[in-house]
Amino acid sequence: MGRPVIGIIGNSYLLNDQYAVHAGGKMNSHAIAAVAGCMPLLVPGDPALVSIPELMACCDGFLLTGGRPNVHPQEYGEDETPAHGEFDRDRDAIALELTRACVAAGQPVFGICRGFQEVNVAMGGTLYPEIRELPGRMNHRMPPDGTIEEKFELRHDVRFTPGGVFHRVMGTEVVRTNTLHGQGIKMAGPRIVVDGLAEDGTPEAIYVEGAPGFTLAVQWHPEYEAAKDPVSRPLFEAFGAAAREWAAGQRPTAMARAV
């Protein structure tokens, strides 16, 4: 049997400010192939091109990646403001519905950064447009200058719930992570369990309560140096294991019980 197929939801960009493309970071593809042990497949995030049933039929799991555009606030009942930044409504239409369908079916889905926010919004949660403006919060945004290594450097700790899902996946209660996001969870969706917090109280690790399969998401970027990083590797290994179970036709195992 071949490797399980992981659909990586792409972002819409203009190449050279002119040519419209669907794109995905190479880090994500390398993490899926080298650490999760699956075949990465870049998916155009556009409902005019793909449908949710088609995607679920041809993929064994989905990676919801980061991206500069933010989830449109209309998706969680709020008005657009300049603080909400750029949007990708086509990706909203695919990622949110796909997340809900995967949660219901037990098909593996792993959210990163924007994908973390998509999982929360898909399950009825809301977002702050700019968490650095909240009292007591640190600036979680990507440093504007420096090398890639400097932008992705480890900047704060995340503490997991003792005995919780992420504690069991990681084998430790505290990890140190990078941070490259402006938005964050305002209200967790009714089934969203916040299982990890940054030092300033910002939610950083979540899962969906009662989901019959792998549905985890993190606010940081574990795809960076995933093969070497002791925090990133267990996440992608667990995701790959869940995708192999799905590909083999095995009954999905709820993450709340699996590890």
Q: How far apart are CA 9 and CA 72, in angstroms?
A: 17
Evaluate whether 75 touches 89 at the Cβ level (below 8 Å).
no
- pLDDT bin (cut points 50, 70, 90) of residue 44 is very high
* 113: pLDDT strictly greater than 60: yes
pTM flag (> 0.85): yes
Q: What tens digit of pLDDT does each residue of 179-207 get? A: 888 889 999 999 999 999 999 999 999 99
Q: How far apart are CA 221 and CA 180, in angstroms?
A: 8
* 85: pLDDT strictly greater than 80: no
More reliable by pLDDT, 237 or 257: 237
Q: 240: part of which helix (H) or strand (E)?
A: helix 232-247
Q: What tens digit of pLDDT does each residue of 143-180 get? A: 777 788 888 888 899 999 999 999 999 999 999 998 88
Task: Show the domains of the chain with their CATH numbers.
Answer: 5-258 (3.40.50.880)
Evaluate whether 218 touches 194 at the Cβ level (below 8 Å).
no
